[in-house]
Amino acid sequence: MSWTFTNDRAIYLQLMEYIERDIVSGTMAPGARMPSVRELASIAGISPNTVQRAMYEMERTGLLLSRGTEGKYITDDRARIDTMRQDLARQKVADFYQDMQHLGFTLDEVETLLAELAAGKNRE
Amino acid sequence: MSWTFTNDRAIYLQLMEYIERDIVSGTMAPGARMPSVRELASIAGISPNTVQRAMYEMERTGLLLSRGTEGKYITDDRARIDTMRQDLARQKVADFYQDMQHLGFTLDEVETLLAELAAGKNRE
DNA sequence: ATTAGTGTACCAATGATTTAATACAATAAT
DNA sequence: ATTATTGTATTAAATCATTGGTACACTAAT
């Protein structure tokens, strides 16, 4: 849960993506309680207001649920989480492939670059 | 040269990426004259000031050159352009692969998703 | 010479994001 | 009962991106 932020996009959007990623990858378990707004703000080094903003948006998508003053919880719906994981992956693949096509790379070249990268990573 | 902008990132940053993409992919030829700031603004439907901002940043990287009041020109250095194309591609592949790993996908799964996408595209 | 088009610069206004600083009601823990 | 913690809401200030408007100097075309 080490989050870093860039200044080219709104922090609350980046935070949403980090949390979504942690939920769909299982780093944060379904049904688990989220750290408090203040605690998350402290961890991330940002204002509680910004965390609240991100949380508010994520409740609208149903990924988080607020139980009054007890705290916020990750949804229990594993099917929904897995669907979201698939959707995120497909979107990412589509965006990536389209970008590479715009750069003039064929599917074969993309696959080669990917394989090279993975091979390089494994060597370290 | 059909550009659309989202509101989650600064327009001048998105414009920079569009122009970079057009240059490295050859859509805009090396040594060619760029449309004027006012013309680009009109085409993109944004303020000339925002275009100027993007252009200024791209001159600092050497991709564009300003010839006084004659206009702005794309660099003639094809080697530099090709190097930038390779760098952009490698960065994109690395970011994409890291994102997919964070979502819990293996290299094999990524390759499968890519192949499926490409196959689907070809069917239409 | 005049005109049009170029890059460049500046200023003011607007909107979005972020932050700090509070405040309040409800629940959990003691 | 009291205290601490929770979500939630509000206000004000600061920063940045964006836009509209204007202006100036220089070059090319007429």
- CA atoms of B54 and B48, how far apart (whole Å): 10
Same domain, yes or no: B62 and B25: yes
R_g over Cα of chain B: 18
Q: Report, as an integer, the average pLDDT of B21-42.
A: 96
Q: Give chain A's domain count.
A: 2
B66 and B28 part of one domain: yes
Q: Is residue B2 part of a domain?
A: no
The residue among B57, B76, B95 that closes a domain is B76
Q: What is the mean pLDDT of residues B60-64?
A: 94
What confidence tens digit (pLDDT) does each residue in A32-90 have? 999 999 999 999 999 999 999 999 999 999 999 999 899 999 999 999 999 999 999 99
Residue A92 to residue B99: CA distance in whole angstroms: 8
Sign of CA dihedral B35, B37, B38, B42: positive
The per-residue pLDDT for range B76-86, each reduced to its tens digit, is: 999 999 999 99
In a domain, A4, yes or no: no
Q: For the residues of B71-112, what is the DSSP string, one character each?
A: -EEE---HHHHHHHHHHHHHHHHHHHHHHHHHTT--HHHHHH
Dihedral over alpha carbons B113, B87, A22, A80 (to 10 degrees):
-30
B4 domain residue, yes or no: no
Whether residue A1 lies inside any domain: the answer is no
CB contact under 8 A, B96 and A94: no
Task: Quote the domain boundaries for residue B101.
Answer: 79-122
The chain B residues in contact with chain A (CB within 8 A) are 8-10, 13, 21, 24-26, 85, 88-90, 92-94, 96-97, 99-100, 102-105, 107, 110-111, 113-115, 117-118
